[in-house]
């Protein structure tokens, strides 16, 4: 991996952690956060491995800072890694030159997958940790709405972010 790419990935991981700590609004079961933007940017710039690593390492670091290391930590880092993998694969398939509609499609699609994974992990976490979370399935609709809203915002601004970044990283 070239030094510029490695440094860019490290900065995106750090941005993920900072955004997850300071740019998150929790409204009950709906969570609006900007933390996945660095994953999306990294995956769209460099592909599936980089996107997956940014999501994996960023989410793991956030989990350690926020909750510490626990029996379900590994579960909670999976959705961010999957988001990076999916967007990276799609971007690579389109030779890293996606139209606005393609960007919106993959961003919203990955948000739906991540929402489903997060909901399943929340259920598994409740079961493993021994607490009752009966509202998990009732909250799915609200979680999907929040995920889609954030994804549409990201998909709309992503082309404007990627254009100058591609020049900077030499793509």
CA nearest neighbour of 38 among 62, 17, 23: 17
Name the one residue in this structure whose structure tokens are 């929402």.
115
Which CATH number belongs to the domain containing residue 91 in this structure? Answer: 1.10.1760.20
Q: Which residues contact 81 (CB under 8 A, 6 or more apart)?
A: 52, 53, 55, 56, 59
Handedness of CA 58, 59, 64, 70 (dihedral sign): negative
Residue 135: the pLDDT is: 60
Show the tokens assigned to 138.
């009732």
Domain count, the chain: 1
Q: How many CB atoms lie within 10 A of CB 49?
A: 17
The whole-number average pLDDT for the span 71-87 is 95
For residue 138, the model assigns a pLDDT of 66
- Note the pLDDT of residue 131: 73
How distant, in Å, are the alpha carbons of 75, 116, 142, 157 from that of 47?
23, 23, 30, 19
What pLDDT digit, counting tens, does each position of 133-147 carry?
666 666 777 778 888
Question: Whole domain around residue 144: which residue ranges?
Answer: 3-25+33-169
Whole-prediction pTM: 0.89
């Amino acid at each position: 991996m070239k030094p510029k790419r490695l440094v860019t990935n490290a900065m995106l991981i750090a941005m993920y952690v900072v955004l997850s700590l300071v740019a998150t609004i929790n409204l009950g079961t709906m969570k609006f956060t900007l933390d996945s933007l660095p994953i999306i940017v990294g995956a769209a710039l460099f592909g599936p491995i980089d996107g997956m690593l940014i999501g994996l390492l960023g989410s793991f670091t956030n989990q350690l800072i926020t909750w510490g290391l626990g029996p379900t930590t590994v579960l909670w880092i999976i959705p961010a890694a999957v988001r990076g993998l999916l967007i990276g694969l799609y971007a690579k398939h389109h030779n890293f030159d996606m139209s606005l509609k393609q960007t919106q499609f993959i961003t919203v699609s990955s948000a739906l997958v991540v929402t489903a994974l997060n909901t399943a992990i929340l259920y598994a976490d409740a079961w493993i940790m021994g607490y009752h979370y009966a509202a998990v399935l009732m909250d799915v609709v609200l979680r999907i709405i929040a995920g889609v809203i954030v994804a549409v915002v990201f998909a709309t601004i992503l082309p404007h972010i990627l254009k100058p970044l591609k020049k900077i990283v030499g793509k």
